[in-house]
C-alpha cells in the first residue's frame, strides 16, 4: 500500500438483545471504491441529513456465510437509501479483488447498480459472489463480535430471533 493511500476506519458497536457484545472496526478501501466508502462512512458518522446506522439492525444472519444489516429505512432488508439523493448508486470496481476471505465488507444489493445503505460482512470466503458485489472494506478488529452475531438464533428467513443492533457508530 502506497504511503499516500488513505483508508479511513469506522466502527460499529453491536448489542444483542439488551447486552453490548463488542465493536466491529472496518478499514474502508477508499482508494478502490471511493463512492461506496463515502456512503458507508457518512452513514456511520450521521453527516448526511442525520441518516445513521445507529439503532439499525443486522436483519439477516447466515452462519458460515454472512451477516447483513444497514437497512436504515425499514430495518428488514426491504429498504434502500443512500447519501446520493436517497437513491441507489452504481457498482464500483467489481472484481478488483476476489471474495476470498472472512471479514470483507460489501454492498448488499438486488442486482447491478442497486447499492444503498445495506451491507454484508463475509464469515468465510465466498468465491461465488466475486464480481457481483462492491467490496469496500475489511474487518480489522472485532472478529469475536462478528462470531457472536453469526451464532445468534434465527427464524426460517434467517432473521435473528433477538434484536442484533448497531448501538453506536462513527469514524476513528
Positions annotated as catalytic residues are 60, 65, 68, 109, 120, 129, 133
Contact predicate 56/14, CB 8 Å: no
Q: Can you tell me the distance from the alpha carbon of 117 to that of 69, in angstroms, rounded to the nearest whole number?
A: 9
Element (H, E) at 56: strand 56-62
Task: Please name which of 102, 50, 56 lies closest in space to residue 75, comparing C-alpha atoms.
Answer: 56
The set of cell numbers assigned to 119 is 451491507
Task: Please name which of 41, 61, 62, 40 lies closest in space to residue 116, comparing C-alpha atoms.
Answer: 40
Amino acid at each position: 500500500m502506497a504511503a499516500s493511500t488513505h483508508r479511513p476506519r469506522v466502527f460499529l458497536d453491536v448489542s444483542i438483545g439488551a447486552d453490548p457484545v463488542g465493536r466491529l472496526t472496518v478499514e474502508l478501501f477508499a482508494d478502490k471504491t471511493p463512492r461506496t466508502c463515502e456512503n458507508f462512512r457518512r452513514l456511520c458518522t450521521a453527516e448526511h441529513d442525520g441518516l445513521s446506522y445507529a439503532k439499525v439492525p443486522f436483519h439477516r444472519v447466515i452462519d458460515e456465510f454472512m451477516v447483513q444489516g444497514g437497512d436504515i429505512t425499514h430495518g428488514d432488508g426491504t429498504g434502500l437509501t443512500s447519501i446520493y439523493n436517497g437513491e441507489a448508486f452504481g457498482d464500483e470496481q467489481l472484481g478488483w479483488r476476489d471474495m476470498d476471505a472472512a471479514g470483507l465488507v460489501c454492498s448488499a444489493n438486488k442486482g447491478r447498480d442497486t447499492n444503498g445503505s445495506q451491507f454484508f460482512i463475509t464469515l468465510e470466503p465466498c468465491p461465488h459472489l466475486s464480481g457481483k458485489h462492491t467490496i469496500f472494506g475489511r474487518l480489522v478488529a472485532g472478529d469475536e463480535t462478528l462470531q457472536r452475531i453469526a451464532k445468534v438464533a434465527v427464524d426460517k428467513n434467517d432473521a435473528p430471533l433477538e434484536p442484533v443492533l448497531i448501538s453506536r457508530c462513527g469514524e476513528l
